[in-house]
Structure 1
Amino acid sequence: MARNRTRAPSSTTTTATKTQTVRINGARVKITTKAGKVTTKPALPLEWELQAAQVASLRRLPQYQRQFLLAGDMNASKRGPRAQAQAIATGMTSGEPDLRIYGEYGRLLMIENKVGQGRLSPAQKDRHAALQRLGYTVLVIRATTTTEAAEQAVTAVLEWLAQEKGKAA
């Protein structure tokens, strides 16, 4: 017959902070527990949400489809082994920037999005450096809200277009 084993209460209290992100009423919320106290606050947006806001704002610009076009990638999306193999075989490349802005005269601006102080992966660092060696511009936009990301992208593209006009003249 097995003996009942119970552990005596620990005399040391853990004050480790634990966080988790959950959905409450459809909104992403970050729950933090520290020393028995629970706090909640809105979670930072996901990278794809930043990109979607940028795309929507850029498509609303009057210059869109006249002076520039755009295309986006979802390199970080989840794929099964078969889909991953197909993506790699057809040219999907790790570290490729999230958005490409095609301008007049063959110019290309690439935008990589990071939430807050998110770090570039080693593949992104390598790919961005390789693209810059070939003469392309890669811009990293850091934002904590979708509005901030969209505003930064619009400003960057409008400044880039203004530089483009100066080079064409």
Structure 2
Amino acid sequence: MAKRQVQTTKIDGKRVRIVTTTGANGTRVQVTEAEPKEWELQAAQVRALRGMPEYGKQFLLAGDQNSAKRGPRAQMEASAAGMTPGEADMRIYIAGGQLRMIENKVGRGRLSPAQVDRHAALARMGFTVDVLRAVTTEDAAHQAVALVRGWLAENDNQSGQGQPRCSSTACA
């Protein structure tokens, strides 16, 4: 029976995945480019979305990193301040008072149990979390831009003009 070991490391500044298989026919080593980390997908999306001409006029965004590794004290502080396990990676605020959310997964990565629970709770309140899956930062950015453009077009069709509704002088 073959024994397989997988390791991700950096070589010449690039993340690579090394797969070593040892079996009856000897040892085989395969080195491939590693998939990006989830935060890298999100960072590419943020750059692309902020670069859209509609940004700041028709939509804004806010990102979270609820799954970031923290020590016990930092975790306690984050929880006390309202950080919620399972919360979506990005919130998109659309003119007219709409909230849309994006969750990122690398490849076939699964939602955590906290994400499944949180997304279901949000759905019960009428909010949808769109899960985008990508294996490159370019694809993640492209998907996010396409999704937001779709939301903006939908918003324009619903409101007729796509103009924000204001209840104060903040929009004047």
Give secondary structure in 2 for the equivalent of 1:110: strand
Aligned length: 156
Give secondary structure in 2 for the equivalent of 1:17: strand
Amino acid in the other structure paired with 1:38: V
State the Cα deviation string for residues 95-138 of structure 1 (Å, max 9, x = none): 00000000011101100000000000110001011111111121
Amino acid in the other structure paired with 2:8: T
Query: Partners in 1 of 2:65 and 2:96 — Cα distance?
Result: 26
Match in the other structure for 1:52: 43
Query: Partners in 1 of 2:47 and 2:13 — Cα distance?
Result: 22
2:107 is aligned, of 112, 116, 124, to: 116
Q: Is the counterpart of residue 23 in structure 1 residue 14 in structure 2?
A: no
1:104 is aligned, of 95, 101, 120, to: 95
CA deviation after TM superposition for structure 1 residue 34, in Å: 1.0
Query: Partners in 1 of 2:123 and 2:144 — Cα distance?
Result: 19
Query: Partners in 2 of 1:78 and 1:61 — Cα distance?
Result: 31
Match in the other structure for 1:142: 133
2:28 is aligned, of 25, 34, 37, to: 37
Give secondary structure in 1 for the equivalent of 2:70: coil
1:85 is aligned, of 76, 80, 94, to: 76
Give secondary structure in 2 for the equivalent of 1:78: coil
Query: Partners in 2 of 1:19 and 1:78 — Cα distance?
Result: 22
Moved over 4 A (4+): none
Q: Is the counterpart of residue 130 in structure 1 residue 117 in structure 2?
A: no
Amino acid in the other structure paired with 1:127: R
Query: Partners in 2 of 1:93 and 1:33 — Cα distance?
Result: 38
Query: Partners in 1 of 2:152 and 2:4 — Cα distance?
Result: 46
Give secondary structure in 2 for the equivalent of 1:20: strand
State the Cα deviation string for residues 71-106 of structure 1 (Å, max 9, x = none): 000111111111100100110000000000000111
Q: Percent same amino acid at aligned positions?
A: 58
Query: Partners in 1 of 2:97 and 2:123 — Cα distance?
Result: 16
Find the structure with the greater CA-based Rg: 1
Q: Structure 2: where are the runs of 5+ without partners?
A: 161-172
Over aligned residues, Cα RMSD in angstroms? 0.7
Amino acid in the other structure paired with 2:94: G
Task: Output the TM-score relative to the length of structure 2.
Answer: 0.89
